[in-house]
Amino acid sequence: MANNEDIFKKIISHAKEYGFVFPSSDIYDGLSAVYDYGEYGVELKNNIKNYWWRAMVQNHENIVGLDSAIFMHPTIWKASGHVDAFSDPMIDNRDSKKRYRADVLVEDYVAKIEEKINKEVEKAKKRFGDAFNEAQFRATNPRVLEHQAKMDEANTRLNNCLNENDLAGVKKLIEDLEIVCPVSGSRNWTEVRQFNLMFSTQLGSLSEETNTIYLRPETAQGIFVNFLNVQKSGRMKVPFGIAQIGKAFRNEIVARQFIFRMREFEQMEMQFFVRPGTELEWFEKWKAERLQWHLSLGTAPENFRFHPHDKLAHYANAACDIEFKFPIGFKELEGIHSRTDFDLTAHQKYSGRKIQYFDPELNESYIPYVIETSIGLDRTFLAILSNAYTEEVLEDGSERVVLKIPPVLAPIKATVLPLIKKDGLPEKAREIMDVLKVDFMCQYDEKDAIGRRYRRQDAIGTPYCITVDHQTLQDNTVTIRERDSMLQERVPIDSLTEIIRKKISI
Ligand code: ATP
C-alpha cells in the first residue's frame, strides 16, 4: 500500500492535472510557496467560502460581514504587536545552507518520538488482542514512559525558551537533542535569530520610512479597527460578531508542503465581541461550534482533534487549534483564540479614539473581550481534497480515482452526457443543460466513450452524471448516475432539478 507521502504526492499531481491547483508562475518554474487555483479549484474554493459564510453570517443573526482593505495604516501593526513580535525563530545549517524554523525542528523531533510511542502501542495491541487496555499500557509501559518523558522535557524547554525569548536557549536545546539537518545530516548550526514575517512595501512614490506599509499578515485587524463603524451602523449589541474572508501574507521561513503553508493565502476569520468575564464560556461554545462545522461536511470525527496551546500569544488568555489529519500528519487547520481586550485596547491607545461599548443592560461602558475563530481557506481546501481523494478497484478489476467531495462543495454539480453524438441526443442533452445551468454549475460532455466520460467526472468529484439515450427521446426520462455508489437510476427530466437540489442542500 502506498504510504502517506506517496498519497500526498499523488494528490498534488492530481490537483494540477485536473485544474484544481497550479504552481504560481508555472512557465517560469514557479514561485516558492505561491499557488494559483485552476478552473475547478476556484469553484471548490468559492463553495467553501460560501459554506463558511452561510454558517457564520447567514445563520447567526448577531454576526455580520465585512470586507476591509489589505492595505492599512502602518500604526495598526505597531498597535497589534506585529511589528515587534510577529516573528519566527530561524536557524541555518552551515553545511546544507538550508534554513529552518528552530521551533519546528524541535516539534519534528517530538513528533518522531510520538510515532515511536504509537508503534509500541500498535505492537502491544496486536500481541494482547481484545484484552488490550490502551490507556493502562500508555500509563505504565516503561518504554512508553521513557519516550513520554523525553517529549515532555523537550516541549517544556522549548516553551520556556520561547516565552522568555531566549534564543540561545533554543539553540542549546537543538544541540542537546542532537537534532541534525535533514539535508546535510550535520549539526553545524548557526545562532537562532528572529525573523519578522510581514512583507513591507511603499505607499506612494516616496521611499521614506514613514511611507512603509505592510501587507496584512491576518485579516483580524481590519475587523478590530472597524469595530466602532460596524457596531454603530449595524446597531449591534454585545455579544456580536464580525466575519471576514480575505487574503493574508506571511513571509514564511520554510514554506513547503504544497498549499498547507503559503506566502500568500486566504483566511476566514470571525471576531466575536463579548462582555468581559464571559469570554471563556464563549471560547468553549465556539470551539464546539467550529468543530461541528467541520463534522457537518461528513468527514470522520477521528480526523480532527483539539490541540490546546501551551505557549499563548501575547494577546491571548486561552487558545486552541482544531487539527486535521492531513497526509503529512495531524496539523493545525483552524485556531480559536480568546484575545481578551488586547487589540481594542491597543487601538484605543494608538489611535486616541475611545473604543468602548455602552451596555444598556448593565448601564455601563467597557471594552469588549474577543473570541476569534480563524481558519485557513487553503488549508480547508487541502483537508477536503485529501479527504476526498480515493483510489478504487472496481468489480471488473479496473481502477478509478474519485474525489468524494461533499456534494455541497463539489465544483461541478452535474454533467449532462448524450450517450452518442448523433440521432438528436446532443440536442436533447443541450436542452437539459440549458435548464440546469441556471441553478447549478453544470457541464456538458459529448467526447469519448461514456465510461471515460464518467471517469473524468469522478476525477473532479461531480456528484451526478446525467445520460441522455434513445429512450429519452421517447419518454423524457434520463439515467442519473451517483458518483460514490455508481448506481444508475432512470428518472423523469422534470425531477432533475429537485434531485440535485436535495443532494447539495446543507
Ligand atoms: P502555523 O502554526 O501553522 O504557522 P499559525 O498558528 O501561525 O499557523 P494563525 O495565525 O492562527 O496560524 O492563523 C489562522 C489560520 O490561518 C491557521 O489555522 C491556518 O489555517 C491559516 N494559515 C496560517 N498561516 C498560513 C500559511 N502560511 N499558509 C496557509 N494557511 C495559513
Domain residues of the chain, as ranges?
Answer: 100-179, 396-504
pLDDT value at residue 209: 64
| C-alpha dihedral sign at 484, 489, 493, 499 | negative
Phi, psi dihedrals of residue 31, rounded to the nearest 5°: -125, 130
Cell of 330: 495531524
Residue 239 scores a pLDDT above 80:
yes
Percent of the chain at pLDDT exceeding 90: 90
Cell of 382: 487541502
Residue 206 scores a pLDDT above 80:
no
Distances (CA, A) of 390 to 33, 318, 400, 506: 26, 37, 8, 23
Of the listed ranges 63-67, 81-85, 213-217, the least confidently predicted one is 81-85
pLDDT value at residue 208: 65
Q: Which residues pair with residue 266 across a beta bridge? A: 247
Residue nearest to atom 8 of ligand 1 (CA): 332
Pocket test for ligand 1, best of 195, 290, 379, 381 (most atoms within 8 A of CB): 379
Residue nearest to atom 9 of ligand 1 (CA): 335
Beta sheet of 464-468, edge-to-edge order:
442-444, 414-418, 464-468, 477-482, 488-492
pLDDT value at residue 1: 41
Residue nearest to atom 31 of ligand 1 (CA): 376
Three-state SS for 414-429 is EEEEECCCCCCHHHHH
Q: What is the pLDDT of residues 341-356, one digit of tens each?
A: 999 999 999 999 999 9
Superfamily of domain 396-504: Anticodon-binding domain (3.40.50.800)
Q: In sequence order, which residues have a C-beta less than 8 Å from that of residue 244 and are 6 or more positions away?
A: 65, 66, 67, 68, 219, 222, 223, 268, 269, 270
pTM above 0.85, yes or no: yes
Q: 492 alpha carbon to ligand 1 midpoint, in Å?
A: 48
What average pLDDT does this structure show over 99-115?
Answer: 93
Residue 311 scores a pLDDT above 90:
no
Residue nearest to atom 21 of ligand 1 (CA): 376
Q: 438 alpha carbon to ligand 1 midpoint, in Å?
A: 37
Atom number of ligand 1 nearest to Cα 263 = 27
Residue 207 pLDDT grade (very low, low, confident, very high; cuts 50, 70, 90):
low
Using a 10 angstrom Cβ sphere, with 0-12 exposed, 13-18 middle and 19 or more buried, the burial of residue 383 is buried
Pocket test for ligand 1, best of 103, 216, 251, 267 (most atoms within 8 A of CB): 267
What's the mean per-residue pLDDT of the chain?
95
Residue 428 scores a pLDDT above 90:
yes
Give the N- to C-terminal CA distance of the chain in Å, as an integer: 35
- Length of the chain equals 506
pLDDT value at residue 292: 98
Distances (CA, A) of 126 to 84, 121, 133, 144: 52, 9, 12, 16
What average pLDDT does this structure show over 419-442?
Answer: 97
Pocket test for ligand 1, best of 374, 375, 381 (most atoms within 8 A of CB): 374
Residue 105 burial (CB count, 10 A): 25
Using a 10 angstrom Cβ sphere, with 0-12 exposed, 13-18 middle and 19 or more buried, the burial of residue 323 is middle
Residue 131 pLDDT grade (very low, low, confident, very high; cuts 50, 70, 90):
confident
Pocket test for ligand 1, best of 35, 261, 294 (most atoms within 8 A of CB): 261
Phi, psi dihedrals of residue 292, rounded to the nearest 5°: -60, -40
Residue nearest to atom 14 of ligand 1 (CA): 374
Q: Up-side HSE of residue 278: CA atoms within 13 Å toward CB?
A: 12
Residue 205 scores a pLDDT above 90:
no
**Euclidean distance between CA atoms 431 and 195, whole angstroms:** 59
Atom number of ligand 1 nearest to Cα 337 = 11
Q: 183 alpha carbon to ligand 1 midpoint, in Å?
A: 25
Q: What is the pLDDT of residues 356-404, one digit of tens each?
A: 999 999 999 999 999 999 999 999 999 999 999 999 999 889 999 999 9
Residues in contact with ligand 1 by the CB-under-6-Å rule are: 218, 250, 252, 261-262, 265, 267, 332-335, 374-376, 378-379
List the helix and strand counts (H, then E) for the chain.
17, 23
Residue nearest to atom 24 of ligand 1 (CA): 261
Residue nearest to atom 22 of ligand 1 (CA): 376
**Euclidean distance between CA atoms 151 and 145, whole angstroms:** 10
Q: What is the pLDDT of residues 8-50, one digit of tens each?
A: 999 999 999 999 999 999 999 999 999 999 999 999 999 999 9
